[in-house]
Amino acid sequence: MSARQSLALLGTLAALVQIALATLAWRLGVCLPFDPGCVGASISGICRLLQAVGIAMPHQVLGDVLGGMMLFFPVAGLLAVFSRWYRTAVFLRFLRRRAITPLPDAVRSVARHAGVSQPVELVDLASPLAFVHGLIRPRICLSTGLLHRLESAELGAVLCHEQVHAARRDPLRALLGHGFAAMLFWLPLARALAAHLQVASEVEADAVVARRPDGRVALARALGKLLSGAPELGPGAPYAVSGLTATERRIDALLERETRVRFALSAPGAAVSVLLVLALICLLML
């Protein structure tokens, strides 16, 4: 499954859950979570179902829960998006105070030779950083710590990798995926899709670099050098960026010439996801 398909499936799941909750609330006559007069008589069926499994819940409480879920899930997603965007803004303000301008000729030459068209920024930081930021106009950011560790060919391969992230607007996709996963935090399938989105995005960008002459070897060498020192700056980090994540999984994918990552969901996670979806469907059919 590709990164684009993972994000599309996450968005579809979020939309379907919200539609299902709205449909259920309409069938039960739930208008507002704080208005007990909106709960219809058909809610008795759900109450009996809950009582059969040992859960006693009054009509009004159940109506409040359903209405609250309708409001809570999208608000949780929006709050997660805003929180990550804000942390990213703070992080970028810190980096801009360390910006090196103008861009050194050596870096400019490597970027031009690699065919990088996106703007490249350089910051004075010992940590080896390479990432793309910007939701509308993506930009590539490098650190001096990265330049000190890589040769020209390796730096060119890293720049090509980040260029792919910028062309696909992966920071925006990562932010949306984080919001959908936060909205569906209770569904193991959603968490697995969000994690897959991160890995698939990196492997697909690596595959583009690997099609260039010597790109596969240069990128693998760069990742090998950074394996123990590169911080995580992808969707799993608290920033809305697509960053350099040096992992053994990516190096293996390069060496084995993989262009896609197979989606995997643990058996317990799959079972819980199926049960939750079936429970929602059963409630809609009452």
Residue 56 scores a pLDDT above 80: no
Average pLDDT along the chain: 79
Residues β-bridged to residue 132: 140, 242
Q: What value does the mean pLDDT take over residues 34-44? A: 44
Q: Are 24 and 63 in contact (CB under 8 A)?
A: no
Residue 246 scores a pLDDT above 90: no
The residues, any chain, with a CB within 8 Å of residue 145's CB and separated by 6 or more, are 125, 126, 127, 128, 129
Peptide bond into 102 cis (omega under 30): yes
pLDDT digits (tens, 9 = 90+) for 120-157: 999 999 888 889 999 889 999 999 999 999 999 999 99
Q: Are 28 and 46 in contact (CB under 8 A)?
A: yes
The residues, any chain, with a CB within 8 Å of residue 163's CB and separated by 6 or more, are 114, 115, 116, 117, 118, 140
The gap from C-alpha 16 to its chain's centroid, in whole angstroms, comes to: 19
Q: What value does the mean pLDDT take over residues 42-48? A: 51
pLDDT at 30: 46
- C-alpha to C-alpha distance for 250 and 202, rounded to whole angstroms: 7
Instruction: Indicate the pLDDT class of residue 38, thresholds 50, 70 and 90.
Output: very low
Query: Residue 74 CB: number of other CB atoms within 10 A?
Result: 15
Q: What value does the mean pLDDT take over residues 233-252? A: 69
The type of residue at 280 is L
- C-alpha to C-alpha distance for 14 and 164, rounded to whole angstroms: 27
